Amino acid sequence: MHRQDRLPYLAYTIMNYNASLMKQIEGKTAKMRNLALMSASMGVLFPSGPQFSDSLGAALYTAKLSWLIPIPIFMIQAASTQFALNPDLLINVEELKDRREDIAKKRIIYTITTRGENLTTLRNSFDSVRYWLRRVKEDHGLDFRSETWIVTEEDRFRAERLFFEEMELDGATLIIVPERYSTPNHSAFKTRALHYASEVRIERGIDAPDDWIYHQDTETMIGEDTVLGCLDFATNTLDGHLIGAGIILYPQNWKYRFNSVEETIRSVGDLSAMGQMKMWGAVPFGYHGSHLIVRADIENDIGWDFGKVRSEDLLFSLKLRERFGGVSKSLKGFAYEKPPFTVGDHLKQRRRWILGSMEVLAGKDVKVKYKLPLIYSLGSWLIGLPSIAATALSLLYPTGGVIPIIGGILTGFMWWTIYSSYKVGLELHELYVNRPEPNKRLKLVWGALLGMLIDAVAPWYALFRRTKKYEEIRKDDPAEELEDIIVDVEPYAEDGARANCAKNIVCYPPLKRWAS
């Protein structure tokens, strides 16, 4: 399949972004009304308290107390989502055009940090950046300095040299992390590559308040809305906000099955996070390392030298909050990613998050007050599987509500919040994935139920199947094949790589103290 036949990012427009959010903004009053009606109705239908007469009933009733643990998270999500849904989330191009002079002063480095093992996905992500940067500058007359960096490891660069050279010829700046590069804290995995990139920026003088870094993962495609959202953020920081995060959608390789459906509730979590940033300038219950924009001088100052960790995004956010307080703000515009392909990949991805969070909890360089929300969040995730089991057993062996009347109200509140999360998540994706599909509704319901069960199993899988590796999740679709790459340049000689580097490749080792 030729690359020109795989251009999903053409649909990633400001029109679709604004339309997707406007639908949610217009319906937010109805959402709150339905939530209140469902909660009240369940309180009326199930007013009773404990009803058991044997030890089995007592044990089952006790298990139901687990339902109470995640309620504060559900309440925060419901409130912050409503708080986020306001017209100020929409992108106004005319307002941006009024800031042309300020926009011209900005420099945004679009940075894809990648192991380099999902080449088709990486190339498509780079193409989306290349395409929409050009289109925004030409279509809207918003000229600004921009670069696209591909940060990858030396061994992958050597193994896939022609592939990376082609991207360099198409305008990418390659940052090759030397195999022998080491940091003071002996960082490993992605945090090592991120720290190396920050040192390259400092050496190149990309270290001023007008310089911004937009972070992407291998699979992070961007759209017209993403570029405009970054410009809006970079030119609207008089309030002191230093970092922005937004909503990630998962329309790439969309299938009406559990993996795609389950990821949609992550988008709703991002929407909730935007409300939390609006309220507190911080996000106690969720972080991600892509679709993130940070002022370059601040990122360079904090750095990424966190040691051998798998939770670099979480650590960076916590250290930023420790140093500067509530400086997070909503980033307008979606990013567009893809879900894991299999149940095994899904579980491995969640395992990396959970083990990474546990590494932060075990470390001594983060204050206890910042760890408490993380402890509560992990505890609420762990309680998911016992809660599902208690719910299923209650259908066979009823023991009454946890608390008279109030228990029914809380049950209605939780059930409707879960249902609404899937509904809103699917609606956010609708303009990007809506197409004819036999038994679509049934597949969506089954996908949500199966995805919920797999996510409930994930933390227990992480606890009992631990690994010390940083697992790279497969993101290349097996049905797609990256076409042969033919580049009309002389290959590098192994013994003369430094001398023959192309102009946009930062040859290893680029830093002065690493130069031979």
Does the structure show a pLDDT above 70 at 488? no
Q: What is the mean pLDDT of the chain?
A: 88
Which residue did the predictor score with more confidence, 41 or 64? 41
Q: Where are the domains of the chain?
A: 1-511
pLDDT in tens, 230-285: 999 999 877 789 999 999 999 999 999 999 999 999 999 999 999 999 988 888 86
Does the structure show a pLDDT above 90 at 86? yes
Rounded alpha-carbon distances, angstroms, from residue 255 to 404, 431, 436, 454: 42, 15, 12, 17
DSSP 65: G
DSSP character string of 121-163: HHHHHHHHHHHHHHHHHHHH----EEEEEEEEEHHHHHHTHHH
Out of 3.40.50.150, 3.40.640.10, 3.90.550.10, 1.20.200.10, which CATH number does the structure's domain 1-511 have? 3.90.550.10
Residue 262 confidence (pLDDT): 95
What is the pLDDT confidence band of residue 491, given thresholds at 50, 70 and 90?
very low
Residue 6 confidence (pLDDT): 62
Does the structure show a pLDDT above 90 at 468? no
Q: Are 132 and 223 in contact (CB under 8 A)?
A: yes
The candidate with the shortest Cα–Cα distance to 216, out of 246, 242, 239, 196, is 246
| Lookup result for tokens 């990007």 | 432
* Bridge partners (DSSP) listed for residue 152: 176
pLDDT in tens, 412-424: 899 999 999 999 9
pLDDT in tens, 143-190: 999 999 999 999 999 999 999 999 999 999 999 999 999 999 999 999
Kindly state the tokens that stand for 247.
Answer: 């909503």
Rounded to 10 deg, the angle between the 312-324 and 343-362 helix axes is 40
| Lookup result for tokens 């239908």 | 45
For the ranges 51-60, 185-194, 310-319, the lowest mean pLDDT is seen at 51-60
Residue 291 region, left (φ>0) first, then alpha (ψ -120 to 50), else beta?
left
Rounded to 10 deg, the angle between the 368-382 and 440-464 helix axes is 120
Does the structure show a pLDDT above 80 at 1? no
pLDDT in tens, 119-129: 999 999 999 99
Does the structure show a pLDDT above 80 at 503? no
Q: Are 338 and 253 in contact (CB under 8 A)?
A: yes
Which residue did the predictor score with more confidence, 427 or 501? 427
Residue 250 confidence (pLDDT): 97
Mean local confidence (pLDDT), 49-60:
78
Distance CA 361, CA 475 (A): 29
Residue 17 confidence (pLDDT): 97
| Lookup result for tokens 């608390």 | 403
Mean local confidence (pLDDT), 328-338:
96
Mean local confidence (pLDDT), 41-64:
80
Mean local confidence (pLDDT), 319-331:
92
Single-letter amino acid code for the residue at 7: L
Kindly state the tokens that stand for 169.
Answer: 């010829």
Which residue did the predictor score with more confidence, 56 or 339? 339
Residue 166 confidence (pLDDT): 94
Q: Are strands 211-216 and 292-295 parallel, antiparallel or unpaired?
A: antiparallel
Q: State the chain's maximal CA–CA distance in angstroms.
A: 83
Residue 479 confidence (pLDDT): 65
Residue 483 confidence (pLDDT): 47
CA–chain centroid gap for 129, Å, is 17
Mean local confidence (pLDDT), 65-91:
91
Highest-confidence range of 69-73, 221-225, 349-353, 473-477, by mean pLDDT?
221-225
pLDDT in tens, 344-398: 999 999 999 999 999 999 888 888 988 999 999 999 999 999 888 888 887 777 7
What is the pLDDT confidence band of residue 30, given thresholds at 50, 70 and 90?
very high
- pLDDT > 70: percent of the chain: 91
From start to end of 162-249, where are the E strands?
Answer: 173-177, 211-216, 243-245, 248-249
Distance CA 251, CA 79 (A): 26
Mean local confidence (pLDDT), 323-328:
91
Which residue did the predictor score with more confidence, 6 or 177? 177
